[in-house]
Structure 1
């Protein structure tokens, strides 16, 4: 038998590199900086460095060859964080508070999709289907990596309008981008003639799937809230394990997907409605804390792995892709965001923050992985390259500045008085 002692197995080297990357990314910034920025950029950079030192360790997870791995891993992260995002919202407020969110979803997101698709087609020479997919994949703001910009955990209060807008936009647009992913799949498989797919797309992929995701997600969330938080003597409500959050996530997402609805919408709506059943109950803190722990752990691993596969995607990356990535982050999203928020009640500075901080992240990986496993795109390598590059650029630009921006906004709202006055509602003091 061949002596295998002290063999350098690629899997074990990957584990060592992964552990070292997590340690360095979360420990080193605290050592060097008093108020460290988000660790997202460091995680991807460490992963990149590890794969350059040991090129063979990521051969089995190349997204152009094994997109299903990225689809499933990103799927779990996104549905968990969407449910937790729904649980975060202490008070739904009124129509005035939701108006910026509605405009971001109805105006900013379609404008972003159209602009990125146009850039992909005209500048990078992508096919029409590939360009639409690129726009759909990169349009949603990410609820996973934008955590520092969103409202705090349940029962904390102090949810000023900027945090609320970013939280609710991220909670909903991951699901509302899905019709445009299906649009790209229709175009790629059937051609660009709308007569071949438009009626089916509008009736099935837009109306039916959104309606099923919303209605079933709300029903499951209400049922889960009744089970967990009512009646008051319920021992599960008093000390229930946080793993029950996964029960809600998997039930809502799985049942809605079986009914051919949008599970992302269902996960967020389920968390939102579950919280409304007994909004002040502390079980929501347990559920949110557990879900956040799961999300942070898997997200950190995914970011390291994404950084590690970036060198294998460099051959597909050219100047046009970097222009698209930087253009989306620095030009397209800010302009589309400001246009969408023109008639909103937010101040000019608040609008600018919401428009600029359209963080790209894990949701984009899921959408691209999903599309790659359903239709073979000619631009597959280029799509993965530009998406990975854009996520990395977003982690650097947004991740390194988010903490300071949020602190500035929090100080501004504290000096102006209670931020709840902007919402037109009064949030009761938490017990």
Structure 2
């Protein structure tokens, strides 16, 4: 007879079983949660908290205990999410048609960074350099956790102005937030050892890294577009039907541009957009997108399970009451107000503007920026910074996760689309008459 008292399972077998369960959940949970006011990230965090509360599970997955692993793993998740986001977009790149994107990038994000920096310095008592790092970490909309408010897969027609704006913003603002992270690092190094910073930051941290990142991403996208769709039929990569090409383009784009000290996040998204334009109507874009999305979801679940474990291991212990109030202000006041300011004068229905302003989801990208900043500059109080960022992400996951399904379904109905019909409109057209542009 099997004696439970003598049972000592092999940790490898337990890990293998857990990974299998996780993969099954990756495939099944999005379907199960589709019509519920509940999101996949909420479930993942709950699973992580439950697992790490089990007495037999040892270890505390706190980010400061594994700073290099935290930085690299979150970095990997973000770049894969950026490739998937870029491949989704059906809209041809055009300065006018992308008007909502430029507003969110050029107005909303800098305002958010400035407001969070001031809040951190005056409200939380943080040094200005640390407050700037906090602002740069919490301002960008996350490309990983924002999938519920993003456009649908390529060529599905699920691309209204709200979904397009949030997808394109999440794709580009991760790269454009980096200059502010680097500014905080430069100021921190200047305070520590007097290193000159202004000229170096403008010339290298802004002009070179953004310009070369865009150029490098475009060149890699052109190369992969030619290899995938334009070479002789017998050897073009599209013939393989293998979505691994998306992963290859992601790593090559990020790796090559980072070798030249450019913004790899920005390069990956530009590569995805360029690759998407190479042969816009080809079905292979769907295969590449679906593969990237599957890898992204699996890695996202791992990050959030570990995040849940960190929460029950004391991640939020350094929080003060003022920190909790600040986190609420960031989510409910700073982002929505900055979003509405950025969208002032934009030709869209008031409900669309509110949705765009409200769903500035914070997530894995914030983890990466904070880990990167703390790993590259002298800083005290890292535990408190991680607690603040962790709380903002947790509240964002809960707030946005519980509201995204009813809000987006109501938005679809208001624009004449049936939310249960995979993008099929209830009435004529796609219901985007209130949008400033169409795809």
Query: Could you state the TM-score of these two structures normalised by the residue count of structure 1?
Result: 0.90
SS of 2:141's equivalent?
Answer: coil
How has the CA–CA distance of structure 1 residues 18 and 409 changed in structure 2, closer, same or farther, with 3 Å as cutoff?
same
8 Å CA contact 2:349, 2:435 repeated in 1: no
| In 1, Cα distance between equivalents of 2:220 and 2:13 | 41
| In 1, Cα distance between equivalents of 2:205 and 2:352 | 34
| In 2, Cα distance between equivalents of 1:259 and 1:201 | 16
Q: Tell me what 2:98 maps to.
A: 98
| In 2, Cα distance between equivalents of 1:420 and 1:231 | 37
How has the CA–CA distance of structure 1 residues 172 and 24 changed in structure 2, closer, same or farther, with 3 Å as cutoff?
closer
Q: Tell me what 1:208 maps to.
A: 208
SS of 1:241's equivalent?
Answer: coil
Q: Tell me what 1:348 maps to.
A: 350
Q: Tell me what 2:430 maps to.
A: 418
**How far 1:367 moved relative to its partner?**
1.0
8 Å CA contact 2:316, 2:388 repeated in 1: no
Q: Tell me what 1:146 maps to.
A: 146
Provide runs of 4+ in structure 1 moved above 6 Å: 8-33, 192-195
How has the CA–CA distance of structure 1 residues 306 and 210 changed in structure 2, closer, same or farther, with 3 Å as cutoff?
same
Q: Tell me what 2:223 maps to.
A: 223
Q: Tell me what 2:288 maps to.
A: 287
Q: Tell me what 1:393 maps to.
A: 395
Q: Tell me what 1:197 maps to.
A: 197
| In 2, Cα distance between equivalents of 1:114 and 1:144 | 24
| Range with bigger deviation, 302-311 or 261-270 | 302-311
For 1:21-420, what aligned pairs fall within 5 Å after superposition? 35=36, 37-54=38-55, 57-59=58-60, 61-92=61-92, 94-191=94-191, 196-231=196-231, 233-234=233-234, 236-311=237-312, 312-414=314-416, 417-419=429-431
| In 2, Cα distance between equivalents of 1:70 and 1:134 | 17
Deviation track 1:137-159 (CA, whole Å, cap 9, x = no partner) reads 01100111111111111111241
SS of 1:325's equivalent?
Answer: helix
8 Å CA contact 2:189, 2:195 repeated in 1: no
| Range with bigger deviation, 160-169 or 306-315 | 306-315
**How far 1:321 moved relative to its partner?**
1.8
| In 2, Cα distance between equivalents of 1:124 and 1:33 | 39
How has the CA–CA distance of structure 1 residues 239 and 376 changed in structure 2, closer, same or farther, with 3 Å as cutoff?
same
| In 2, Cα distance between equivalents of 1:53 and 1:174 | 36
**How far 1:58 moved relative to its partner?**
3.1
**How far 1:243 moved relative to its partner?**
0.8
| In 2, Cα distance between equivalents of 1:43 and 1:425 | 36
SS of 1:314's equivalent?
Answer: coil
**How far 1:43 moved relative to its partner?**
1.3
**How far 1:370 moved relative to its partner?**
1.3
| In 2, Cα distance between equivalents of 1:258 and 1:160 | 37
How has the CA–CA distance of structure 1 residues 17 and 123 changed in structure 2, closer, same or farther, with 3 Å as cutoff?
farther
Aligned length, in residue pairs:
422
8 Å CA contact 1:230, 1:237 repeated in 2: no
8 Å CA contact 2:347, 2:435 repeated in 1: no
How has the CA–CA distance of structure 1 residues 362 and 347 changed in structure 2, closer, same or farther, with 3 Å as cutoff?
same
8 Å CA contact 2:97, 2:438 repeated in 1: no
Q: Which runs of 5+ in 1 are unaligned?
A: none
| Range with bigger deviation, 289-298 or 31-40 | 31-40
RMSD: 2.8
| In 2, Cα distance between equivalents of 1:32 and 1:412 | 22
| Range with bigger deviation, 197-206 or 259-268 | 197-206
| In 1, Cα distance between equivalents of 2:431 and 2:321 | 44
| Range with bigger deviation, 49-58 or 359-368 | 49-58
Q: Which runs of 5+ in 2 are unaligned?
A: 1-5, 417-426
